[in-house]
Amino acid sequence: MTTALRSMLFAPGNEPRKVKKVASFGADAIILDLEDAVPNADKVATRPMVRDAVREIHGPLVCVRVNGLGTRLTAGDVDGVVAEGLDVIVLPKTEAPEDVVAVDAMIAAAERREGLAAGRVRVLPLVETARGVLAASAIAGASPRVLTIAFGSGDFTRDLELPAIRWSLAGTELAWARAKLVVDARAAGRPRPIDGPYIAVRDAEGFVADCRVARTLGYQGKVLIHPSQVEAANRAFAPDADEVAFCRKVLETFAAAEKQGSASITVDGVFVDYPIVEKAERIIALAEAFEAKDRAAGATAPAGRHA
């Protein structure tokens, strides 16, 4: 299962029109929601709708956000939506490794019932409280099912009781928690984490700035709450064209130097040895993977998908 995720686009599971279109906007993953985007009175009735959608959607990574363990709806949600086609259960309000272990057991039972391979469905814990941030390293390592961790920035600011709905473009209020989750994910052997949503959906400039902050800190991608954010996120979290060109130059120059018996050189004033070469190879591979994915998505997308 791919973990190169620049964009994860939400759709409320109880709104068929949005569910039908969510996979057509070019996001690397889609998240069908049973939690905050669904009215409390409709949550249980939404499960079969989401299950049907999971079976029908093809292309992006298919995820479902269930309700958190504190709601007592989690087990029913997992049981109701695990089916062929589901890739990831997104677990909100994750505050301890025991939360992941509990959901792991729920998924395992559902996989057996559905005849799915054990471990087929992964878990993406959303870390969105102070307790969750402090336990993030243990959460990331709690189960082999953990894809990586994601930062629930909106709920985190609520948990901190910050006196504003929106946070600054510099992200100062979130900086420590954001940075910690990157280190926690990598220390647990997980891929780089996913950053939380930018809630000012009409502020395109602010969204790009927020993506830059997250990317600089080490995030691989972002949770999105509006289709208009997909293309910008895909650009922001893909390797820069100039960087890829430099990486190619590094490989070419290093290969020539290695043939002459040197494994430490400078390229355009940058020191290069084997670890730098390995990093250059990873950057090029990631860029090529995204290019191939975007070409495939463009070839299969319906006309006007970005409208």
**116, pLDDT greater than 70:** yes
Return d(Cα 278, Cα 258) in angstroms, integer. Answer: 14
Domain annotation covers residue 28: yes
Return d(Cα 221, Cα 286) in angstroms, integer. Answer: 13
Domain annotation covers residue 50: yes
- Same domain? For 181 and 296 the reply is no
pLDDT at residue number 143? 98
Question: Domain boundary residue among 190, 216, 236?
Answer: 236
Domain annotation covers residue 306: no
Over residues 260-264, mean pLDDT? 94
- Same domain? For 180 and 72 the reply is yes
Domain annotation covers residue 223: yes
The answer to whether the CB of 135 falls within 8 A of the CB of 97 is yes
- Same domain? For 150 and 266 the reply is no
First to last CA, the chain: 29
Give me the CATH number covering residue 89: 3.20.20.60
For the chain, the domain total comes to 2
| Percentage, residues of the chain above pLDDT 70 | 94
- Same domain? For 75 and 174 the reply is yes
- Same domain? For 163 and 294 the reply is no
Give the pLDDT confidence of 3-51 residue by residue, as tens digits: 689 999 999 999 999 999 999 999 999 999 999 999 999 999 999 999 9
- Same domain? For 84 and 173 the reply is yes
- Same domain? For 187 and 249 the reply is no
Question: Domain boundary residue among 236, 251, 269?
Answer: 236
- At residue 265, what are phi and psi to the nearest 5 degrees? -140, 180
Confidence class for position 299, pLDDT limits 50, 70, 90: low
Question: Domain boundary residue among 221, 236, 251?
Answer: 236
- Same domain? For 105 and 11 the reply is yes
The answer to whether the CB of 28 falls within 8 A of the CB of 221 is yes
Rg (CA), the chain: 20
Pairing relationship of beta strands 265-267 and 270-272 according to DSSP bridges: antiparallel
**306, pLDDT greater than 60:** no
Domain annotation covers residue 173: yes
Question: Domain of 162?
Answer: 7-236
Angle between helix 97-114 and 74-81 (nearest 10): 30
